[in-house]
Amino acid sequence: MPAWNHWYHVTSNTYGTWLPGDPRGWRERGHKKHVDGDYKSPPPPGCGDAQHRRSRGLLVKPPVHLDIAQREIAGRAVVEMLFQQTIEVLTVSLGAVHLHILARFPDAQVRPKVGRAKKHACFTLRDDGFRGRLWETGSGVVPIADRQHQLNVFAYIVRHGEEGAWVWTFREGLYWKKSEDV
């Protein structure tokens, strides 16, 4: 399905926070194995326990959970790099483990451009003392179907602020205010 006016909803996770066998549901890469359920209606209890244990055992470091200050630093870095790539961004939210972006990618090169933004966030956090891998590989990309879908996704992303996520919208621009200045 082509994206309406080149708008996309992009999601990504921090390292090690959503693994194969997760009780919230998961998908095999390339859908090699059918898995019942998803995050809205999880698979039956115990369905992927062995796979989840194995996945956790394969992690080379603990899962990454961002604190409030790290969310803001990394979130700003994502927004800045998307703007540097001339991407029109409506909103971004970054919680402890989950990133959401609603943006227009005119050339449909969504994953490479989001990848650069995630890389920039990682390097920016390193300047602040973070060490190690920050993001899971890849991103989920959902084309926006129409204006109503865009409005629904915008509201959905902004609501993550109620759960403690750092949230930015186009209304704020790039002139950052420090949290303590507000």
- Assign residue 68 a region (left: φ > 0; alpha: ψ between -120 and 50; beta: otherwise): alpha
Say yes or no: 120 and 85 in one domain: yes
**For the whole prediction, is pTM greater than 0.85?**
no
Residue 177 lies in a domain: yes
pLDDT at 105 over 60: yes
| Full residue range of the structural domain in which residue 165 is found | 4-14+65-181
Q: What is the pLDDT of residue 146?
A: 97
pLDDT at 30 over 70: no
Say yes or no: 52 and 71 in one domain: no
Least confident of 27-36, 86-95, 124-133: 27-36
Say yes or no: 177 and 103 in one domain: yes
Say yes or no: 54 and 76 in one domain: no
Say yes or no: 53 and 89 in one domain: no
Sign of the C-alpha dihedral computed for residues 71, 168, 162 and 4 taken in this order: negative
pLDDT digits (tens, 9 = 90+) for 138-148: 899 999 999 99
User: Which amino acid makes up residue 127?
Assistant: D
Say yes or no: 38 and 88 in one domain: no
Residue 160 lies in a domain: yes
Residue 103 lies in a domain: yes
Q: What is the CATH number for 157? A: 3.30.70.1290
Query: How many distinct structural domains can be found in the chain?
Result: 2
Say yes or no: 52 and 88 in one domain: no
Residue 24 lies in a domain: no
- List all residues 6 or more positions away from 43 whose beta carbon is below 8 Å from its beta carbon: 23, 25, 35, 36, 37
